[in-house]
């Protein structure tokens, strides 16, 4: 079993819909949780990071961490065609150099 599980998709939704992207993990030592967005043939770019549990909001994006369920989510409101990309989750332990990555979910927003 992988330490981080993420459905590869593709997930296809109409423009304007609320999108929910998710990752589950098995190691309770993870404390930092991140979401990256990767456009085709580009490097991943950091979207959001959270420490421990709770929610964090940035514009149309909300990151949510539920440590009791070992489950993290990224919500995108009012989705736009420009949000079409692969979304990768990543997480790490305290004072650890390495991130553990999900496989990435390909998201397609249909105009």
Q: Which is nearer to other proteins, 31 or 73 (CB)?
A: 31
In whole angstroms, the minimum distance from the beta carbon of 16 to other proteins comes to: 30
In degrees, rounded to 5, the angle at the alpha carbon of residue 3 between the alpha carbons of residues 90 and 77 is: 40
Would you tell me which residues interact with other proteins (CB under 8 A)?
8, 31-32, 34, 36, 41-46, 49, 51, 88, 92, 94-99, 101-104
Beta-carbon contacts of 73 under 8 Å, excluding residues fewer than 6 positions away, are: 20, 21, 22, 23, 63, 64, 66
In whole angstroms, the minimum distance from the beta carbon of 78 to other proteins comes to: 25
Q: Which is nearer to other proteins, 57 or 78 (CB)?
A: 57
């Amino acid at each position: 079993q992988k330490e981080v599980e993420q459905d590869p998709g593709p997930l296809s939704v109409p423009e304007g819909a609320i999108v929910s992207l998710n990752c589950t993990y098995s190691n309770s030592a993870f404390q930092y949780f991140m979401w990256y967005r990767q456009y085709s043939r580009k490097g991943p770019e950091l979207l959001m990071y959270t420490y421990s549990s709770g929610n964090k909001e940035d514009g149309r994006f909300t990151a949510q961490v539920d440590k009791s369920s070992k489950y993290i989510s990224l919500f995108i409101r009012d989705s736009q065609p420009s949000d079409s990309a692969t979304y990768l989750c990543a997480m790490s332990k305290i004072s650890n150099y390495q991130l553990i990555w999900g496989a990435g979910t390909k998201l397609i927003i249909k105009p």
